[in-house]
Amino acid sequence: MADYHQMWKDLGMDVETHDQLCEVLPQAFGDVYLSQENRPEGMDYYNFVVAEIHGVRPAELIEHQKKGGKVFGTFCVYVPDEIVFAADAIATGLCGGSQFWVPGGEKVLPTNTCPLIKASVGARLDRTCPFFRIADMYVGETTCDGKKKAWEILAEDVPVHVMDLPQMKREKDIKAWADEIRIFRGVVEEMTGNQVTAESLHNAIVLINNKRRALSRLYDLRKNEKLPISGKDALLISQIAFYDDPTRFTEMTNKLCDELDQRVKDGVSVFPEGTKRIMLTGTPLAIPNWKLHNLVETSGGAVVCEEMCTGTRYFERLVDEAEGTVDEQIDHLAERYMGINCACFTPNSARIGDIIRLAKEYKVDGIIDVNLKFCSLYDCEGYHVEKALKEAGIPVLGIETDYTDSDAQQLRTRISAFIEMLNS
């Protein structure tokens, strides 16, 4: 990575502690990613993004701010990036996926809080992530209890706007979410000094839909019997989608998909024939959480799909691109976003339908139901997920884990046994 120390100092970061993270990340990335054989050439771009993860994109965001632009940090796939981009601002994902930030979060949160929340709070309070320093405003939501309380803690340190997400999906809830988006529009307009117009919102909807189209194309390629790309690489792309420039990301992902199309035509696969096809479902895997994919793909399996927010929940279904008033377009946004099936909703039976549909589409042999430790929403929903999968005759393995490596060996044993069972 180039030298960004001055930029980090200017951001008020704890550069010394941050250096420790910079030291371990390349090794971890090399072990998990660069050791793979026959990777598509198009992955070079994403390798570069990771190598420069706290450099290139943060520098772009700072450049944008120097020109008077604003940056909004988000933590959930219900927050509509379209509103932010329509006001000439930039949205960037902020979810923390590393154990490195967890102890910082534990200084202010109970230990039995989900690691995603602890890492996100720790990254801000310990001043060890440039993205968390750069964002002018954080946008939270009322999805789970831990997050709701985390916003209150973060708000002591940085401006936070919280969107009130309904927890049911009746007609009135969709209307309520549209109203929340209208309030969010006002907040973004005030913060940026820019108007969200019918034209700018339409352009932003097309911009983000194009990103969804590219991801959808990538995932479709994973439906092939011969897999042109590993699950690990697909996960990395999904993770990068949250903070890369959307236009460039779409272009690079489509370019990669062109290469993968050719691989499919040539019958190239990155896994030996007969490798068991595994789908992951459950809580999101924020960057740099590659633990489970790495375990599966070094235990004789291939991850072919993620029914997760770092997966299909992020890109499935497009926002209606019909031109109209800002109000009409906000209604379209509410419709699309309320179609995401997170465990914070009750009932959430549509998610079960999604999992079974995806299992068929991706020709899945077995499913791993993943729960981040202390996420009671997905943990409790696991009852219905696993029951439905058993009824559908789809083998399932339920696991709970966190960001540490302490359970890696035990998980490897269980995952290997599961894959072996699928083979027998």
* Residues at the site binding ligand BJ8, with contacts judged by CB under 6 A: 76-78, 114, 116-117, 143-144, 146-147, 283-284, 309, 340, 342, 344, 372, 375, 377-378
Catalogue the long-range contacts made by 162-166 (C-beta closer than 8 Å, 24 or more residues apart): 163/78, 163/79, 163/139, 165/76, 165/78, 165/141, 165/344, 166/338
Q: Which two three-digit tokens encode residue 12?
A: 């008020």
**Least gap, CB of 291 to ligand BJ8 (angstroms):** 15
Sequence-distant (6+) residues with CB within 8 A of 123 are 94, 96, 101, 104, 129, 132
Residue among 88 and 316 whose Cβ is closer to ligand BJ8: 316
Helix and strand tally (H, E) in the chain?
A: 19, 8
Residue among 344 and 385 whose Cβ is closer to ligand BJ8: 344
Q: In Å, how far are 95, 154, 255 from 188, measured between CA atoms?
A: 20, 19, 33
Q: Which two three-digit tokens encode residue 36?
A: 């793979």
Q: Are 140 and 161 in contact (CB under 8 A)?
A: yes
**Least gap, CB of 41 to ligand BJ8 (angstroms):** 31
Q: Which residues, in sequence order, are bridge partners of residue 398?
A: 369
**Least gap, CB of 64 to ligand BJ8 (angstroms):** 24
**Least gap, CB of 285 to ligand BJ8 (angstroms):** 10
Widest distance between CA atoms in the chain: 62
**Least gap, CB of 181 to ligand BJ8 (angstroms):** 15
Residue among 271 and 345 whose Cβ is closer to ligand BJ8: 345
Residue among 77 and 227 whose Cβ is closer to ligand BJ8: 77
Q: Which two three-digit tokens encode residue 6?
A: 């001055």
Task: Give the count of beta carbons closer than 10 Å to the beta carbon of residue 12.
Answer: 9
Residue among 284 and 300 whose Cβ is closer to ligand BJ8: 284
What is the Cα–Cα distance from 120 to 285, expressed in whole angstroms? 13
**Least gap, CB of 406 to ligand BJ8 (angstroms):** 19
Q: In Å, how far are 28, 195, 337 from 80, measured between CA atoms?
A: 32, 16, 8
Residue among 50 and 309 whose Cβ is closer to ligand BJ8: 309
**Least gap, CB of 77 to ligand BJ8 (angstroms):** 5
Closest to 192 (Cα-Cα) out of 92, 68, 64: 68
Sequence-distant (6+) residues with CB within 8 A of 181 are 80, 83, 163, 330, 333, 334, 337
Residue among 8 and 242 whose Cβ is closer to ligand BJ8: 242
Residue among 275 and 348 whose Cβ is closer to ligand BJ8: 348
What is the Cα–Cα distance from 424 to 418, expressed in whole angstroms? 10
Residue among 314 and 418 whose Cβ is closer to ligand BJ8: 314
**Least gap, CB of 288 to ligand BJ8 (angstroms):** 16
**Least gap, CB of 316 to ligand BJ8 (angstroms):** 13
Q: Which two three-digit tokens encode residue 330?
A: 């906000």
